[in-house]
Amino acid sequence: MITISFANNKGGSGKSTSCSNLAAALSYLGRRVLLIDGDMQMNLTLSFFGEDEVLGFAAEEENLCTALAAGEDLRHRIRSTADPNIDIIASTYAMSGIESGLTALREPGKALERGLRGIKREAAYDYVLIDAPPTLGLWVKNILAASDRVIIPAEASPWGLFGLANLLDFIENSGTASARPELLGVLVTKVDERKNYYRQTMETLKGLETLPVFRTVIHVDSAVEWAQDNSTTVVSYRRSSRSAREYLDFAKEVEEKCR
């Protein structure tokens, strides 16, 4: 079982879209996936459930936030989705207060790792995918500490790579040498070929020689938004669309790199 997180403190870079679609693509390839929605915006949860259901989860008294603050085993927070290969630990508005909940713990940086131990032991999943919020604090430290690998989605736009060095430093300093996630790669998202800017982004990334970058890029595609409007992923909604095919290629690349 491999745990992969999606991190970038820049919002709108495609973390939630890529996390949900990687799950759907891996499921299509026959893999079992557990998703963890680490963002109070609940976008990952909204990719698998309708708004009313998500609001219901958000109102529950026992949730991801209370479980982490109490040091509970997160197995009790898992729910099924309509896809038999994908389960999820949903987010909640209460996650806005997670940082203070964590500070009170004996090992504030390890709450998520501890909560996932039972799940790791059972190994019922091939992948655990974690969607991080657009911040760099104690909670994202927890997410990185619980991850074997990390993927950085970055938007092909003038500000898409701004702050990347800072993010890489944060990942580098997120744990000890033996317990630091390996950067699987930067995934370039929302590529618009009509804008020349895409080439500039790729050139900049190529210039950062040691930085792994995924071969697959994800183009801007309105099918992504229609899928989200229908509480699903583009991979399940319209498998023939350009972005769905790209996310399937991305999943194959992830599998190659994790082997």
Ligand X SMILES: Nc1ncnc2c1ncn2[C@@H]1O[C@H](COP(=O)(O)OP(=O)(O)O)[C@@H](O)[C@H]1O
**Three-state DSSP state, 43:** helix
Please identify which residue in 27, 45, 63, 189 interacts with ligand X, judged by CB under 6 A. Answer: 189
Site for ligand X in 108-167 (CB under 6 A): 134
Cα-to-chain-centroid distance, residue 86: 14
Binding mask 5-44 for ligand X (x = CB under 6 A): ------xxxxxxx-------------------------x-
Least distance (Å) from ligand X to the CB of residue 219? 6
Lay out the site mask for Mg ion across 6-25 (x = CB under 5 A, - = otherwise): ---------xx---------
114 or 243: CB nearest Mg ion: 243
Beta carbon nearer to Mg ion, 43 or 228:
43
Site string for ligand X, 215-234 (x = CB under 6 A): ---x-xx--xx--x------
How many Å apart are CA 10 and CA 15, to the nearest integer?
A: 9
Which amino acid, residue 228? Answer: Q
Q: What is the DSSP string of 189-251?
A: ESB-TTSTHHHHHHHHHHHSTT--B-S---B--HHHHHHHHTTS-HHHH-TTSHHHHHHHHHH
| Residue that the structure tokens 């403190």 belong to | 9
Which two structure tokens, joined as six digits, stand for 206? 């190529």
Chosen from ligand X, Mg ion, none, partner binding at 114 (C-beta under 5 to 8 Å by type) = none
Q: Supply the minimum distance, in Å, between the C-beta of residue 173 and ligand X.
A: 22
